[in-house]
Amino acid sequence: MKPLIFAGNWKMHLGPGGARGFLDRFLPHYRPATDREVWFFAPAVSVATVAAAVTGVTAVRVGIQNVHWEPKGAFTGETSVAMAAEAGATAALVGHSERRHVFGETDREAGLKVRAALAGGLIPMLCVGETLAEREGGRTLDVVRRQLGVLQGIPAADLARVRIAYEPVWAIGTGRNATPEDAAQVHAAIRAQLAELGGPADAMSILYGGSVKPDNAAALVGQADIDGLLVGGASLDPESWRAIVGAARN
């Protein structure tokens, strides 16, 4: 059985000092479990600090929140896959809704980033999800389908390394979340599409994200098609993060 993935997305919080302080409070209480992994998507400047702090800690992975698809060049402010890997990242978040909606990132760019991450040895976690207007217009599954379409043409062996995070935009940072049953329905549609794309769908992890808190984590990971959680706000507090990564799978 694939391990559950509990991924913290720190967004634009926790520089190197803050990251170290967080881990000093989290790691002494961390007990690795065989059925789960803990991932940290840290800001680019904190990746090396987090990687150093978790060296040798079981079932913990460090990722970067965004990468550029080109290997190098005149791209002021961007980070290449190789640079992220050199700093200790082994994963990259791609197409987070804030990248799409605040910075205008397109599906095409998300597709390029997934491919660049795969080529450079990072595990891409592709984020998909509908806005409130799209949900209310009954277009959730169409939107998610379009966003996942960027995986078309990626060979099965590479697809096997991709993780998906379903994050309804209206649930991010709002305190509103999809019910576990609603989320599970979208997850099932995502898994069906991953199979259509030629991926080993059952072995691929699909995480849910959007206002995950200690009190709803267990109900979410209790759904058959929810293989983990991508957590923003509640991943910044060591106590609530500890409660989330310890959520029972029932």
* Residues engaged in binding ligand PGA (CB under 6 A): 9, 167, 172-173, 209-212, 230-234
- Whether residue 209 contacts residue 8, with contact meaning beta carbons closer than 8 Å, is answered with no
**Which residue has the closest beta carbon to ligand PGA?**
232
Residue 96 falls in the annotated catalytic set: yes
User: Who's near 68: CB < 8 A, 6+ residues apart?
Assistant: 75, 78, 79, 80, 81, 113, 116
**Residue placing its CB nearer to ligand PGA in the complex, 88 or 129:** 129
Q: Rounded to whole angstroms, how far apart are CA atoms 157 and 246?
A: 31
Cβ of residue 49: shortest distance to ligand PGA, in angstroms?
21
How near is the Cβ of 190 to ligand PGA at its closest, in Å?
16
Sign of the dihedral through C-alpha 194, 199, 201, 206 = negative
Strands 206-209 and 163-166: parallel
Smallest separation (angstroms) from ligand PGA to the CB of 189: 20
Give the residue from 139, 138, 109 showing the smallest Cα distance to 127.
109
Set 96, 98, 109, 130: catalytic member: 96
Q: Is the torsion defined by CA of 27, 29, 32, 36 positive or negative?
A: negative
| Cβ nearer to ligand PGA, comparing 8 with 88 | 8
Per DSSP, the three-state class of 155 is coil
Q: Are 90 and 123 in contact (CB under 8 A)?
A: yes
Q: What count of residues does the chain have?
A: 250
CB of 97 to ligand PGA, least distance (A): 7
Identity of the residue, 167 or 227, whose beta carbon is nearer to ligand PGA in the bound complex: 167
Q: Output 13 or 25, the one with its CB closest to ligand PGA.
A: 13
Among 37, 98, 167, 187, which one carries the catalytic annotation? 167
Task: Confirm whether 167 is a catalytic residue.
Answer: yes
Supply the residues annotated as catalytic. Answer: 96, 167
